[in-house]
Amino acid sequence: MPSTTCFGNLQNPCDDKKRTGPKKLVRFCWIFYRYSPIMEPKGGELLEQVWEQMKTGLQKCERCGLCRTRTQAVWGVGNPRTKVLLIGEAPGKNEDEQGEPFVGRSGQLLDKMLAVVDLDRKRNIYITNIVKCRPPENRDPAPEEVAACLDYLREQTRILAPKIIVCLGRISATRIIDPGFKVTKQHGQWVEKGGIHMMGTFHPAALLRNSGNKPGALEDFLGLREKIRQLCPEVYEL
């Protein structure tokens, strides 16, 4: 039976005969997920090997047209042994150039907010995006681009097995939490799906455009700290 999470039924990726991309790698990751102890917090060197192979395979992805305009695909950044996953929308210009999510002005703001609640992108959380390649002119990713990229996020989620997901921005929250999610009205509210506790909050770039929402976003992160202490306090020991 397939597993069920906030991303729907997790079928064997190799069952799709029309799939493009690194099939052998995807098959390996599926088998590894089902039959190994990778889901344990201390997966060791094998976890790191799989993670790196998946990142390398992503660079060869041609599932949508964004492969023709990107500089590089952006897998994510952080500690794969964490239980806290932050999911943004898509890389921007700086992220496309540097290969890491949230490295521009919005990333600097995000890092400051994380520091307030004793979180660090390199140490005890993991950050990724719904879409792994930059849409031209930083436009919103198209529905077909989101759909083409979603399997990568499913694989990341399978391996990380997070207890907490924070959706940064509207696109992430509407795809993962609720299609009708309204950030201004529902930010900071926790829901549980498939055993994962989720919250949507403002995208840092939106906070740069409207600083009036910064106090609300800070409250959301303070709530995140309390949720971590409740569900996975070991995160603060990483």
Digit-coded pLDDT (tens) for 52-76: 888 899 999 999 999 999 999 999 9
- Chain segment 186-233, per-residue pLDDT in tens: 999 999 999 999 999 999 999 999 999 999 999 999 999 999 999 999
- Chain segment 146-156, per-residue pLDDT in tens: 999 999 999 89
Q: Identify which has the larger pLDDT, 6 or 74.
A: 74
Cα–Cα distance, 70 to 93 (Å, whole number): 9
C-alpha distances in Å from residue 194, one per residue of 74, 141, 157, 162, 164: 26, 26, 12, 11, 11
User: Tokens in use for 191?
Assistant: 């829901």
CATH for the stretch 3-237: 3.40.470.10
The residue extents of the domains of the chain are 3-237
